[in-house]
Amino acid sequence: MATRHLSEEAKRRSQDRVAVLLARRHRRWGRLLWLLAGPGILVMLGENDAPSMLSYAATGSRFGIGFFLPFVVLTFAMAFVAQEMTVRLGAVSRAGHAELIYRRFGRFWGNFAMVDLLFTNLMTLVTEFVGIVAGAGYFGIPPVVAVGGALALIAAAVLSSRYWRWERLTLALAVVNLVFIPVAWLTHPQWGAVGRALLTWQPLPGGFGPNTMVLLLADIGATITPWMLFFQQGAVTDKGLSPHDIRQGRLDTALGALLAALAAMGAIVATAPLHVHHMDAGQFGAAQFAQALVPYAGRVGGALFALGVLEAGLVASITIATSSAYAFGEVRGTAHSLNRPPREAPAFYAVLLLTAAVSGAVVLLPGFPLEMVVIVVNVIAVLTMPPAIGFLLLLANDREVMGEHVNTGWLNALGIGVGLFVALAGLAYAVTVVF
């Protein structure tokens, strides 16, 4: 029975691999990239989730564009460094991130990584439904209907029993994240000022006070989080990428980082007029963030902004819940593939759908502190990232796992730099709050 199940999963994955091999044989490079792209774009646009976009909105409304536009570019460059390693790890080892931690560092660390991820993912999923409810609220959709509709769409996406269909459906939803770019355009920004901000990196208005540090960490956590490592490596494995596909995997990840950075900067530029006019788009509990933009971007701009936040929460709910299911299956040794039907991987789909359902139910609780949770979750993501970077670097330098694809000296320097930057940011936040 187990052999039949494995063969069925392998059959579905092999259909995708045949198309890849034919495209490579006939040197159809554009089609090859199209076939292999997906995990990198999804992980980057998925990380442009509801709390991230709301953090960028708060950033633009409180500080404008001067400091944070180049800062966002820097954070996505760091995210690419980390995610490029997960592409190589998944393609070479054919194993997920949690499974590799379990195999190389033992049962304790494998279970620790899984439980830590499930806990932080559950908190993050709550904030995704905050964004879904907030975005839907702009269009007059009641919270219960918004949560129920989102859960139905998530179930429809993941129960297709085919990784390729799930990936393409989620990609189609993820592209909607780019609506923040036309919203920025509709606010009629001074493009010369935007260019100067990107090239000169202006000082941060008001210095590094506690409130500023919270937003600074929230914007770092909007780009670099542990779930991204588990999701992309699991998706690379589930998609069936091999060492021959690493180059396309890098391009996929770079393209995702570029698109996500453009959308993030669009959100900051779009809300910058609120800073100029001393307004604040920080009320995330309803639709004030989009309503505040109507005088500057028009009703279309406000509606697009609300739609973007709703989409951000929906796509991230799918990807984050999937990362939890991957990690659970990898550590527990149970089936964990979107190429298997639910009857063959009941635990995988149960974890995926249950975490989403519980998170949606929490948001519907009366008096839930929406704005506080949105910001705090991104801060927690930053504080939990240094250990994740440490495991990532150890695995990427494990010659027994990686063979000739181990990290080079430059990649190690960049990876250590990312880890130190995130750790120092967390330390600076702690010192600022205490003193």
Note the pTM of the prediction, 2 decimals. 0.88
Residues 6+ apart with CB under 8 A from 425: 216, 217, 220, 382
The first and second tokens of residue 131, run together, are: 């964004």
Is pLDDT at 225 greater than 80 in this prediction?
yes
- Is position 82 within any domain? yes
Q: Look at residue 418 in the predicted model and tell me its pLDDT.
A: 87
The first and second tokens of residue 430, run together, are: 């702690």
The DSSP call for residue 202 is P
Q: Which residues span the domain enclosing 220?
A: 37-434
Give the Cβ contact number of residue 70 at 10 Å.
Answer: 17
**How does residue 272 score in pLDDT terms, banded at 50, 70 and 90?**
confident
CA distance 359 to 381: 17
CA distance 26 to 103: 38
- Is position 230 within any domain? yes
Segment (H or E) for 87: helix 68-93
- Is position 146 within any domain? yes
Higher pLDDT, 202 or 173: 173
Span 36-63, average pLDDT: 87
Q: Look at residue 289 in the predicted model and tell me its pLDDT.
A: 74
**How does residue 406 score in pLDDT terms, banded at 50, 70 and 90?**
very high
Higher pLDDT, 6 or 157: 157
Q: Look at residue 432 in the predicted model and tell me its pLDDT.
A: 65
CA distance 423 to 129: 28
CA distance 401 to 5: 26
Query: What is the CA 362 to chain-centroid distance, rounded?
Result: 21
**How does residue 183 score in pLDDT terms, banded at 50, 70 and 90?**
very high
- Is position 184 within any domain? yes
- Is position 23 within any domain? no
Number of domains in the chain: 1
- Is position 331 within any domain? yes
The first and second tokens of residue 374, run together, are: 């949105």
Helix (H, G, I), strand (E, B) or coil at 333: coil
Segment among 5-14, 147-156, 300-309, 405-414 with least mean pLDDT: 5-14
Segment (H or E) for 4: helix 2-25
R_g of the chain computed on alpha carbons:
21
Nearest of 287, 356, 242, 270 to residue 143 by alpha carbon: 287
For 277, phi then psi, to 5°, come to -100, 15
Q: Look at residue 385 in the predicted model and tell me its pLDDT.
A: 79
- Is position 192 within any domain? yes
Span 263-274, average pLDDT: 90
Is pLDDT at 280 greater than 80 in this prediction?
no
CA distance 96 to 86: 9
Span 276-288, average pLDDT: 50
Nearest of 77, 416, 97, 317 to residue 220 by alpha carbon: 77
Mean pLDDT across the chain = 84
CATH code for the domain of 359:
1.10.4160.10
- Is position 145 within any domain? yes
CA distance 211 to 217: 10
Q: Look at residue 62 in the predicted model and tell me its pLDDT.
A: 82
